[in-house]
Amino acid sequence: MQLLEERIKKDGQVLGEDVLKVDNFLNHQVDPDLMAAMGEEFYRLFKDANITKILTVESSGIAPAVLAGLSFHVPVVFARKHKSLTLQDNMYSATVYSYTKKVNNHISISKKFIDENDRVLVIDDFLANGQAVEGLLEIIEQANAQLEGVGIVIEKTFQKGRELLDARGIHVESLARIAAFENGEVVFVEDK
């Protein structure tokens, strides 16, 4: 998606060898026009899959997932990372390791929001090592729901996440695919 790639080049900040900071348009401050364009693109890519629910993990996946939900006209459910007094029982859950925060997060979704009748699209902000998506897949399996695909805003192809999903035969679409970070700059797969 050219619009997203241009925004990454303009406002993304490479930290070290494997971290991209996109906090001024995706995961701290959110650009709603860009999110709307991404939601429409996810719809274009998965419109024939008869999606009934979109799943993501709080918090950075929520904005692109909600705008995709608007394009599909389906509910968006996000896995919570922290226990809430209002969410105690009847939960599907999984453990997800956060590479950037170096912690395990226990994620959960109420059983009343996903079931065996759902055809699910997972949307997430980044695909790097694949842990967040793997956690959501575990929850989808617990619910006996049908996974229809995974939509990723930014994929780091030099990390193992895509390989893990490809090995499981999962349909994955990424809006921006990064091949490498070189000299503090983002190199996209198409540019290689």
| 132 is an annotated ligand-binding site residue | yes
| 156 is an annotated ligand-binding site residue | yes
Tokens of 156: 């780091």
The single-letter code of the amino acid at 170 is I
Measure the CA–CA gap between 63 and 123, rounded to whole angstroms. 10
| 117 is an annotated ligand-binding site residue | no
| 90 is an annotated ligand-binding site residue | no
Tokens of 175: 């809006």
- Within 8 A by CB and 6+ apart from 157, the residues are 177, 178, 179, 189
| 143 is an annotated ligand-binding site residue | no
76 neighbors 118 (Cβ within 8 angstroms): no
Query: Residues within the annotated binding site for 5-phospho-alpha-D-ribose 1-diphosphate?
Result: 128-132
Query: Residues within the annotated binding site?
Result: 20, 27, 128-132, 156
Query: Residues within the annotated binding site for xanthine?
Result: 20, 27, 156
